[in-house]
Structure formats: structure tokens, C-alpha cells
């Protein structure tokens, strides 16, 4: 693989990561952890699987975003024009999402808490008035915080690109290859995140997603974004990854088994200082090793074009914007039917999936005025379909 190779593998990973995010949020409707609304069948059954997804699912998205930004900004005619296009591509869907798409999440959450009894349209007026008498902030970006953070990181790195390109060039040296060889690629970058686990994560233990007071999350997600930007065109990194990811997959499985045992007995582990420190250190190690292993597997098996990928590359962002509100609306409706947990889960799953696919295919994609509101480029005659992550 060379720096000029199309990165179909990373586009597939981006689609998969967003898909996992949708399934994760469906899971949030059914576990005991706090969320906007809850199924009457909520319980701990799905939590062991979700805790294995949680350490890496969003970090993977930020890393892939860093890769995509590197290719895009290198291709742009000027950094200023790129910044303007990127700002409009993300900011417009963010504002529309906050004012329209996200509103049902706040409405049904406050309805469940007994804080409102008004109809939806009456609440929407209060929502848009920035009323501060609720237990949740309105208006809010809720799950769209990823867009906020991605936009902020992108605008920050654009003026730093000359420096970052020099750093990326330095990482293409033989010294770097020796540093990450022999399986060390799956350990050395994780040391940074292990350091965060005992510093910034402890100083800011709760992710707030409010942008200005979320420094633990910024350290972690910002670093993954930066790593993606630096490794995007690094032939050494991708070659070493191709040669070692299968070995690392066994390492990841072992970490998952160990961590699952620790998390299942966390109350007891919390009383053992040494074991607690080990558990805290293994979590970011597992996250990085999993992300690197997934990139290696994708490079081996998914680095090929397909019409489905071309379609999903554009569709997945509107799916992301829509999915959480659909989960809440469909979930509240399903819970009112008194179904058993199995049929209710299938109804929420298929209702959310059908809503994402149907609204994109039948409405968003076909109405030019709606496309920019969901981050979809306006179709033009003789304009090729959006291409996957690639270097020109």
C-alpha cells in the first residue's frame, strides 16, 4: 500500500463504526445505565457486551476522521477554503439537528420524568426559547456532540498542518519502523492513553460532551484524531500493521477475557489498589490494540470498492444524525404495546433501521433543499458519486 492508494478499508470501518454506534444506542435503551428513556425490560443482560465496545467505538471514529481530514486538506486548493467548506458541511447539520432532529429526545425524557405534560409542539416552543427550568439543557446537541468535537479539532489543526506534515514525515523514518516492529505497534501508542487514564481521566472522570469542560475526553479523542492524521499516509505504519495484526488479534481476545472478568467483579476489584490500577491500565491498552487490529483486518479484507460502499459512504452520516431520535420515538411507542422483550427489541431494531434507510433514501436524498441539512452534498449533473477516503 502506498500513500496514493484509495482507502476503501477505512471507509468500510467508518461505516461499521457508525453502525456499531447505532446498535450501541439501541442497547442503551435496554441496559441499567442512565439514558433518555428506558424500556420496561431494561436490565444488565447486555452490559457485558457493551462494556467491550465502549472503550474503542468512538475513538475509532475520531482516528478515521483524522485520516480523512489529512487526505482532504492535502487535496484542497487552500487551507482557508477547506476550512470554510468543512465548517458549512458540519455546522449546518449540527444546527438543524439541534433545532429539529434532537428535540424528541428531550421531549420524551422530560415526559418520562414528569416535568412536562404538554403536547410536542407546545414543548418545541419552550425548547427553542432556551428555557432553563428543566433538568436537562435545551436546546441541546445530545448525540451530535461528535460533530461539535470533530469540527473543533478540524479547525484547530488546519493552521498547524505545516508542522504536522513535518512530524508525519519524521515518522516515516527507519527509526520509527524499528520502534513499532515486533508487535510493539499494539503497545507503544497505548502508553499515551494509559498516561491519560491516570491523569486527565481522573481529573475529569465524567464525559460531559459540552465542549468547554470535557478535557479528559478532549485528551483522548483529540489524540486519536491526531494519530489518524499522522499515520494516514505513513507506509511504514500500514506495512507493519499488515504483517502483525493477526498476532495482535489473539492479544486483543486475551485482554477482552481478562477485562471482562475484572469488570464483572469491579466492586471487589475497586478495593484492591494494585488490581484496580492494572484494570485501569488494561482498558486503554485494549482500546488501542482493538482499533489497530480492526484496521489491520480491514486493510486485508475490506480494501476494495463496491457500489454498496459508495452508497453507504454518503448515507451513513444522515443515518447517524437520525438514529438516536428514532430509537427514542420507536422505543417509547414499542414499550406502550406491552410486548415481551424479544419482540420489542426486534421492533426497536427494525423500526430504527427502517427509519434511517427510508428517510434517507425516500426523502433526504431526493430533496435538494434537505441534503445540506444532513451533510449530504447537493447532486449536480456530471458529478461523480462521493468517493471513499483516497489520496490524489
Residue 132: band (very low, low, confident or very high) from pLDDT cuts 50, 70, 90: confident
| For residue 388, pLDDT beyond 70 | no
pTM: 0.94
CA atoms within 13 A on the CB side of 317: 22
Provide the pLDDT for residue 6. 72
Region 362-369: what's the mean pLDDT? Answer: 96
| For residue 275, pLDDT beyond 60 | yes
Closest listed residue to residue 203, CA positions, set 221, 190, 192, 217: 217
Provide the pLDDT for residue 212. 92
To the nearest 5 percent, what fractions of the chain are helix, strand and coil?
Answer: 70, 0, 30
d(CA 341, CA 335): 9
Q: What is the mean pLDDT of the chain?
A: 94
Closest listed residue to residue 157, CA positions, set 72, 280, 284: 72
| For residue 93, pLDDT beyond 60 | yes
| For residue 391, pLDDT beyond 50 | no
Region 238-252: what's the mean pLDDT? Answer: 96
pLDDT > 70 fraction of the chain, expressed in percent and rounded = 95
Least confident of 28-42, 170-184, 187-201, 313-327: 170-184
Residue 392: band (very low, low, confident or very high) from pLDDT cuts 50, 70, 90: very low
- pLDDT tens sequence across 150-199: 999 999 999 999 999 999 999 999 999 999 998 999 999 999 999 999 99
Provide the pLDDT for residue 380. 61
d(CA 344, CA 293): 34
Provide the pLDDT for residue 381. 54
Collect all residues with Cβ–Cβ distance below 8 Å to 257 and sequence separation of at least 6. Answer: none
Provide the pLDDT for residue 4. 53
Least confident of 5-9, 84-88, 181-185: 5-9
Amino acid at each position: 500500500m502506498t500513500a496514493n492508494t484509495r482507502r476503501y478499508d477505512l471507509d468500510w470501518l467508518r461505516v461499521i463504526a457508525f453502525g456499531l454506534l447505532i446498535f450501541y444506542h439501541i442497547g442503551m435503551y435496554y441496559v441499567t445505565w442512565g439514558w433518555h428513556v428506558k424500556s420496561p425490560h431494561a436490565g444488565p443482560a447486555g452490559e457485558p457486551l457493551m462494556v467491550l465496545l465502549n472503550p474503542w467505538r468512538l475513538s475509532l471514529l475520531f482516528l478515521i476522521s483524522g485520516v480523512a481530514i489529512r487526505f482532504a486538506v492535502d487535496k484542497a486548493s487552500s487551507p482557508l477554503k477547506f476550512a470554510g467548506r468543512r465548517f458549512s458541511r458540519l455546522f449546518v447539520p449540527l444546527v438543524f439537528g439541534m433545532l429539529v432532529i434532537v428535540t424528541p429526545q428531550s421531549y420524551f425524557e422530560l415526559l418520562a420524568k414528569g416535568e412536562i405534560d404538554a403536547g410536542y409542539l407546545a414543548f418545541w416552543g419552550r425548547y427553542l426559547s432556551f428555557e432553563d427550568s428543566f433538568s436537562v439543557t435545551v436546546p441541546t446537541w445530545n448525540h451530535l456532540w461528535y460533530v461539535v468535537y470533530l469540527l473543533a479539532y478540524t479547525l484547530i489543526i488546519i493552521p498547524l498542518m505545516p508542522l504536522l506534515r513535518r512530524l508525519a514525515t519524521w515518522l516515516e523514518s527507519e527509526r520509527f519502523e524499528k520502534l513499532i516492529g515486533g508487535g510493539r505497534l499494539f503497545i507503544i501508542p497505548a502508553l499515551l492513553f494509559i498516561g491519560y487514564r491516570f491523569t486527565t481521566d481522573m481529573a475529569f472522570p465524567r464525559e460531559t460532551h459540552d465542549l468547554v469542560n470535557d478535557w479528559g475526553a478532549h485528551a483522548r479523542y483529540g489524540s486519536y484524531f491526531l494519530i489518524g492524521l499522522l499515520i494516514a499516509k505513513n507506509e511504514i505504519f500500514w506495512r507493519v500493521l499488515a504483517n502483525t495484526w493477526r498476532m495482535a488479534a489473539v492479544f486483543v481476545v486475551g485482554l477482552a477475557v481478562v477485562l471482562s472478568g475484572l469488570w464483572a467483579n469491579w466492586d471487589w476489584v475497586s478495593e484492591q489498589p494494585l488490581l484496580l490500577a492494572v484494570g485501569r491500565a488494561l482498558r486503554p491498552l485494549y482500546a488501542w490494540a482493538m482499533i489497530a487490529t480492526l484496521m489491520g483486518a480491514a486493510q486485508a479484507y475490506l480494501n476494495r470498492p463496491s457500489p454498496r460502499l459508495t452508497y453507504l459512504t454518503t448515507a451513513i452520516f444522515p443515518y447517524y444524525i437520525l438514529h438516536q431520535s428514532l430509537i427514542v420515538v420507536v422505543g417509547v411507542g414499542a414499550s406502550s404495546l406491552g410486548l415481551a422483550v424479544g419482540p420489542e427489541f426486534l421492533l426497536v431494531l427494525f423500526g430504527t433501521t427502517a427509519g434511517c434507510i427510508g428517510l434517507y433514501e425516500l426523502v433526504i436524498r431526493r430533496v435538494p433543499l434537505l441534503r445540506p441539512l444532513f451533510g449530504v452534498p447537493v447532486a449536480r449533473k456530471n458529478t461523480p458519486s462521493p468517493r471513499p477516503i483516497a489520496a490524489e
